[in-house]
């Protein structure tokens, strides 16, 4: 899988598109849950990263795409599609109007490539913290509640913890002043060690520092953490990880990779993880983040949406 970091530089990725006919099992399944209570579902922009990266879709139209193409009324932006507009207030105000006109709620911005918040060098760590300020401001203009960050760094666990307490603590303090939460996502290496990250959250002790648990990013020996295709040989238990992160969650990322003919995800145990989410009392949005290649991006999003709705309907 291409990382978010490398994708923008290499957009010529292939995908296997499904025909409309092959989507019939999923759309038929969707009717089953139409009359049942459904969870709140959002769409992570990364689900369409190939379409945006290749120019087939315009990132400025993301809110209307989510609503008109998928019937989804809440979105999670990715900063990499807006790097040239990061400090353009006119642009973000227009994006807010676009979302409002579409009847779509903007939830958060996923922020990558702004430096390591756990950098052992104090000067570089401070710069990384300050690099995130513009995205907090953009999130505020959009009406979001959060930004999602990566808690990467170098050093021993003790060195990492000290640096991250400082870096994340400083960024959360700034976010608190602006009314924007800072969310840690499990993204590989130590960030997918939920016990380690929760210990940092507790030490920072700021309600504006929270989590965005991802169903799929629990690889402990690879940055970005993907467990796609079972290639990771050191995986943190996803059930333990999601359960540890949920008390601090301001969002949940429903990662999906691969589906069987019945519409079930073959790598991630959706029934078990969604039950964890429901039983926890979490009442926020569950964000679709399709990263597979067997389906087209559009088909993968729809398959994930139907899977969430149908599994949720079976839970007590």
Residue 216 lies in a domain: yes
- How far is residue 210 from each of residues 29, 83, 162, 273, 285, measured CA to CA in Å? 34, 24, 18, 19, 15
One pLDDT digit (tens) per residue for the chain, 316 residues: 444 444 333 332 232 233 333 333 434 444 443 445 789 999 999 999 999 999 999 999 999 999 999 999 999 999 999 999 999 999 999 999 999 999 999 999 999 999 999 999 999 999 999 999 999 999 999 999 999 999 999 999 999 999 999 999 999 999 999 999 999 999 999 999 999 999 999 999 999 999 999 999 999 998 877 888 778 999 999 999 999 999 999 999 999 999 999 999 999 999 999 999 999 999 999 999 999 999 999 999 999 999 999 999 999 8
Query: In this structure, is residue 121 part of a structural domain?
Result: yes
Contact 221, 258 (CB under 8 A): no
| Residue 5 located in a structural domain | no
Coil, helix or strand for 272? helix
Domain total for the chain? Answer: 1
In this structure, the dihedral spanned by the alpha carbons of residues 182, 98, 77 and 274, taken in order and rounded to 10 degrees, is: 90
Whether 6 is covered by a domain: the verdict is: no
Which residues form the domain of 281? Answer: 39-314
pLDDT at 38 (0 to 100): 86
The side-by-side arrangement of strands in the sheet containing 286-290 is 209-211, 181-184, 146-149, 105-110, 74-78, 41-44, 286-290, 252-256
Backbone phi, then psi, for 164, in 5-degree steps? Answer: -70, -35
Closest CA to 144 of 182, 88, 117: 182
Quote the pLDDT of residue 225: 77
Q: Residue 178 to residues 55, 87, 117: CA-CA distances in angstroms?
A: 33, 16, 19
At residue 296, the pLDDT reads 97
List, in order, residues 6 or more apart from 84 with CB less than 8 Å away.
none
What pLDDT sits at residue 230? 75
CA pair distance 216, 237, nearest whole angstrom: 10
The verdict on residue 269 lying in a domain is yes
pLDDT of residue 291: 95
What CATH number has the domain bearing residue 192?
3.20.20.150
Residue 205 lies in a domain: yes
Whether 225 is covered by a domain: the verdict is yes
**Quick one: pLDDT at residue 249?**
98
10: in domain: no
Both tokens of 163, joined, read 């640096």
According to the model, what pLDDT value does residue 16 have?
Answer: 29
């Amino acid at each position: 899988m291409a990382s978010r970091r490398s994708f923008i530089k290499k957009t010529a990725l292939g995908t296997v598109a499904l025909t409309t006919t092959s989507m019939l099992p999923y759309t038929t399944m969707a009717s089953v849950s139409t009359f049942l209570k459904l969870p709140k579902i959002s769409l992570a922009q990364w689900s369409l990263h190939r379409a945006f990266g290749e120019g087939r879709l315009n990132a400025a139209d993301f809110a209307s795409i989510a609503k008109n193409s998928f019937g989804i009324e809440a979105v999670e932006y990715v900063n990499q599609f807006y790097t040239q507009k990061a400090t353009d207030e006119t642009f973000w105000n227009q994006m807010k109007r676009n979302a409002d006109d579409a009847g779509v709620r903007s939830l958060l911005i996923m922020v990558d490539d702004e430096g390591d918040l756990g950098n052992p060098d104090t000067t570089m760590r401070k710069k990384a913290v300050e690099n995130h300020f513009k995205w907090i401001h953009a999130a505020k203009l959009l009406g979001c509640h959060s930004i999602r960050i990566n808690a990467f760094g170098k050093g021993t666990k003790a060195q990492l913890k000290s640096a991250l307490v400082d870096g994340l603590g400083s960024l959360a303090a700034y976010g608190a002043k602006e009314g924007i939460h800072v969310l840690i996502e499990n993204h590989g290496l130590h960030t997918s060690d939920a016990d380690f990250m929760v210990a940092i959250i507790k030490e920072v002790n700021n309600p504006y520092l929270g989590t965005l648990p991802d169903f799929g990013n629990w690889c402990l020996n690879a940055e970005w953490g993907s467990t796609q295709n079972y290639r990771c040989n050191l995986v943190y238990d996803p059930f333990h990880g999601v359960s540890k992160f949920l008390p601090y969650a301001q969002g949940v990322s429903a990662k999906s990779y691969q589906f069987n003919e019945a519409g079930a995800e073959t790598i991630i145990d959706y029934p078990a993880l969604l039950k964890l989410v429901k039983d926890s009392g979490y009442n926020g949005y569950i964000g679709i983040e399709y990263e597979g290649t067997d389906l087209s991006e559009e088909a993968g999003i729809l398959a994930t949406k139907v899977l969430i709705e149908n599994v949720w309907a079976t839970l007590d």
